[in-house]
Amino acid sequence: MTGTWISTRAWLLMLPLLVVMTAVIGWPLVDTVRLSFTDAKLVGSEGDFVGPANYIKVLTGSNFQRALVTTTWFAVISVAAEMVLGVLAALLLNQRFRGRTALRALMILPWALPTVVNATLWRLVYNPEYGALNAALTQLGLLDSYRSWLGEPGTALAALIVADCWKNFPLVALIALAALQAVPRDITAASLVDGAGPFNRFRFVIMPYLAGPLLVALVLRTIEAFKVFDIIWVMTRGGPANSTRTLSILVYQEAFSFQRAGSGASLALIVTLLVTILAVAYAALLRKAAGAS
Amino acid sequence: MSALEIRNIHKRYGEVETLKGIDIALESGEFLVLLGSSGCGKSTLLNIIAGLAEPSGGDILIGERSVLGVHPKDRDIAMVFQSYALYPNLSVARNIGFGLEMRRVPPTERDKAVRDTARLLQIETLLDRKPSQLSGGQRQRVAIGRALVRNPQVFLFDEPLSNLDAKLRMEMRTELKRLHQMLKTTVVYVTHDQIEAMTLATRIAVMRDGRIEQLATPEEVYDRPATLYVAGFVGSPPMNILDAEVNASGLKLDGCEEVLPLPAAFNGAASAGRRVKVGIRPEALRLAAGSGGPRLAANIEVVELTGPELVTTATVGSQRITACLPPRTALRSGSAHAFTFDETALHLFDPESGRSLRTE
């Protein structure tokens, strides 16, 4: 009797949230699935059922394949760089020196900035006419004339990756720094007496305590990087010559710029599926890591 | 030849001086215990010997060589930590052999050394396990193995048994003693446990507030404590300390009529009228039977049977005293009795400086 009442009350308490979730997530998701099997336009046409035609078109088209490659490059390189930079920063900030507390606080700043602000800031840095990067490189004699970093297909993606790393490595650093606090001082001392140098100390003393938290950071950052939209939209809108067009940008263009709601929906669902696969794989990895320790 | 020499070591952290001039010379094969309560500077001193902390002044010599500024790995020492400090993701075998691995000892030689050490510590069957799969006692053996395998000049132990339960602690204590008798290594061992100090040490340095109160053999520390602090710290229950005054006929305890004989060892130091603290160990007291020897009339307050002995708390005049009596002694709380003791069991201390007034 009591059990039933508690269970009923639990459902009652969750009901408002469930209603909202159904309205803003559940229903749109279901409707997206429906849309993806039609040739609906964003405005005007409700569309007719076309079966898997949208999926076939998207998966066999070069736009999707190219965007997938671009997204993968972006995610792999920026996340890898964030991991390395984050851990290095954490190791540095874990040393004792004057001004450490101030520097720790300062380091969080890029991550605390809204993405749009960060993107705008880096557009200024990369500006082909008065950008700081051009100025610095020419004054150092490394560059003959100003370049349009975001305007050339060869450099735009790299420039975006730098901007994204700058924003996100502090998160990794923060997680790693917290993990470093957990390394017992006695083990560090024991490794000193045992004669382990910095590399072996990192490998045998620090890494066991860092691995778990870093895996969490890796999962979070990869999934986010795979879905990246805002920073690219503000800085390059997927250009030049679609060289920075990631999957999310492609979805946006398909559904809103070209107003093809049907194929946009199918593309969006494919991206959702890919991210879900990533998330599930990582979750399994995390479970395994938790089991090992 | 001294295996280890500590010369006038000072350590300051800002305004606070945690070590105020420590001098100890250790012969090869000695087992030195640094004994003191927490905050006395004993662990700081050990870390300075290990090279994990630098002294603010003084010198450390290991095997006649000054090791100031020398990296811990080059000091020819090994250390065992209270928390075991094992490498969590390495097997027991690699934990033990880690120091050799870092020193690039060839694998076959390393393997042999690890196996020999494991056999010595009876942990051969655990070599493939990870530290997380071991019990506390097994982990401590691995930690000891990691130190033994390198065969260094000096072993440093930082409260190695304090994380173990009472029974295991006793077993490991015996084990350590056995190892030391067999290997004849030089050991510096930090503890706050006076039983560990008494049982393991060849010499004890009782430390307090950054200074050495007494540096002597366990027997000497127990039988002839140099200060009131040492007298109170070593021994359980602690030594009874009573206020008294020296007069023409002997020692008059405050608040009671008795006059105790002045022991010969303190003859020269105690002139009539001098205030003193009189120390007597609980285990030196017996119930007086007959009329021989000095007597202390006492009112029994509390009687506690611990098993091997009867710990008795009583009042002597206005002062309280503890006595450890044989377990079957017939005593009731509230009854009046007299204690007796050997004259040589008395200790006299200066009430101000706390130093022993012993003259011989």
- CA of A94, closest CA in chain B: separation in Å? 18
CB–CB contact A192 B83 (8 Å): no
Taking CB atoms and an 8 Å cut-off, how many pairs form between chains A and B?
Answer: 64
List the single residue in B with minimal CA-CA distance to A185: B85
Q: Give the model's confidence band at B120: pLDDT under 50 very low, under 70 low, under 90 confident, else very high.
A: confident
pLDDT at A291: 65
CB–CB contact B50 A186 (8 Å): no
Torsion angles phi and psi, residue B218, rounded to 5: -55, -40
Tally of CB atoms within 10 A around A9: 10
Q: Report the distance separating Cα B320 and Cα B285, nearest Å.
A: 14
Lowest mean pLDDT among A40-49, B45-54, B338-347: A40-49
Partner residues linked to B2 by β-bridges: B27
**Interface predicted TM-score of the whole assembly (ipTM), two decimals:** 0.82
Name the 3-class secondary structure at B214. Answer: strand
What's the distance, CA B273 to chain centroid? Answer: 35
Q: Is B154 on the interface with A (CB under 8 A)?
A: no
- CA of B178, closest CA in chain A: separation in Å? 24
Contact residues, chain B, for A189 at CB < 8 Å: 47, 50, 52, 72, 79, 81, 85
| Residue A156 exposed, middle or buried by CB count within 10 Å (0-12, 13-18, 19+) | buried
Residue A200 token pair: 């072996």
CB–CB contact B99 A194 (8 Å): yes
Q: What kind and span of H or E run contains A291?
A: helix A261-292
CB–CB contact B98 A193 (8 Å): no
Q: Is B72 on the interface with A (CB under 8 A)?
A: yes
Nearest Cα residue to B294 out of B346, B359, B356: B346
Contact residues, chain A, for B50 at CB < 8 Å: 189, 193
In the 8-state DSSP scheme, what is residue B351? T
Contact residues, chain A, for B71 at CB < 8 Å: 192
Residue pointed to by tokens 């007086």: B288
- Which of B73, B82, B86, B155 has the most A C-beta neighbours within 10 Å, making it the best mutation to test the interface with A? B73
pLDDT at A3: 66
Q: Report the distance separating Cα A35 and Cα A28, nearest Å.
A: 10
| Residue B194 exposed, middle or buried by CB count within 10 Å (0-12, 13-18, 19+) | buried
Q: How does pLDDT run across B49-108, given as a tens digit for each residue?
A: 999 999 999 999 998 899 999 999 999 999 999 889 999 889 999 999 999 999 999 999
The letter for the amino acid at B78 is A
Beta carbons of A40 and A261 less than 8 angstroms apart? yes
Q: Which residues contact B162 (CB under 8 A, 6 or more apart)?
A: B82, B169, B191, B192, B193
List the single residue in A with minimal CA-CA distance to B155: A193
- Helix axis angle for A261-292 and A27-36, nearest 10°, is 120
Contact residues, chain A, for B48 at CB < 8 Å: none
pLDDT at A193: 92
Residues present in chain B in total: 360
For the segment A240-259, the average pLDDT, to the nearest whole number, is 89
Q: How does pLDDT run across A185-214, given as a tens digit for each residue?
A: 999 999 999 988 899 999 999 998 998 889
List the single residue in B with minimal CA-CA distance to A195: B73
For the segment B181-203, the average pLDDT, to the nearest whole number, is 93
Cross-chain CB nearest to B88 (options A186, A193, A208): A208
Q: Report the distance separating Cα A131 and Cα A115, nearest Å.
A: 19
Residue B147 token pair: 């130190």
Residue B124 token pair: 């051969």
- Which of A193, A202, A203, A205 has the most B C-beta neighbours within 10 Å, making it the best mutation to test the interface with B? A193
Q: Give the model's confidence band at A293: pLDDT under 50 very low, under 70 low, under 90 confident, else very high.
A: low
CB–CB contact B87 A184 (8 Å): no
Q: Answer left, alpha or beta for residue B29, where phi above 0 means left and psi between -120 and 50 means alpha.
A: left
Mean pLDDT, rounded, of chain B: 91
Nearest Cα residue to B146 out of B157, B136, B135: B157
The letter for the amino acid at B205 is A
Q: Report the distance separating Cα A96 and Cα B154, nearest Å.
A: 30
Residue B220 token pair: 């000497």
CB–CB contact A196 B72 (8 Å): no
pTM: 0.80
Lowest mean pLDDT among A2-6, A245-249, B189-193: A2-6
pLDDT at A212: 86
Torsion angles phi and psi, residue B89, rounded to 5: -100, 10
List the single residue in A with minimal CA-CA distance to B80: A190
DSSP of A51-65: TTHHHHHHHHSHHHH
Distances in Å between the Cα of B111 and the Cα atoms of A109, B73, B183 are 51, 21, 20
Torsion angles phi and psi, residue B247, rounded to 5: -130, -175
Distances in Å between the Cα of B10 and the Cα atoms of B183, B188, B341 are 32, 18, 42
Q: How does pLDDT run across B125-150, given as a tens digit for each residue?
A: 999 999 999 988 899 999 999 999 98
Q: Give the model's confidence band at A45: pLDDT under 50 very low, under 70 low, under 90 confident, else very high.
A: confident
List the single residue in A with minimal CA-CA distance to B104: A195
Residue A287 token pair: 């479970």
pLDDT at A5: 80
Which residues of chain A have a Cβ shorter than 8 Å from any chain B Cβ? 184, 186-187, 189-197, 200, 204-205, 207-209, 293
Q: Give the model's confidence band at B19: pLDDT under 50 very low, under 70 low, under 90 confident, else very high.
A: very high
Q: Is the pLDDT of residue A1 over 80?
A: no
For the segment B18-24, the average pLDDT, to the nearest whole number, is 93
Tally of CB atoms within 10 A around B202: 16
pLDDT at B259: 84
Contact residues, chain B, for A201 at CB < 8 Å: none
In the 8-state DSSP scheme, what is residue B264? G
The letter for the amino acid at A87 is V
Mean pLDDT, rounded, of chain A: 89
Tally of CB atoms within 10 A around B335: 12
List the single residue in A with minimal CA-CA distance to B81: A186
Q: Is B67 on the interface with A (CB under 8 A)?
A: no
CB–CB contact A189 B85 (8 Å): yes
- Helix axis angle for A62-93 and A153-181, nearest 10°, is 40
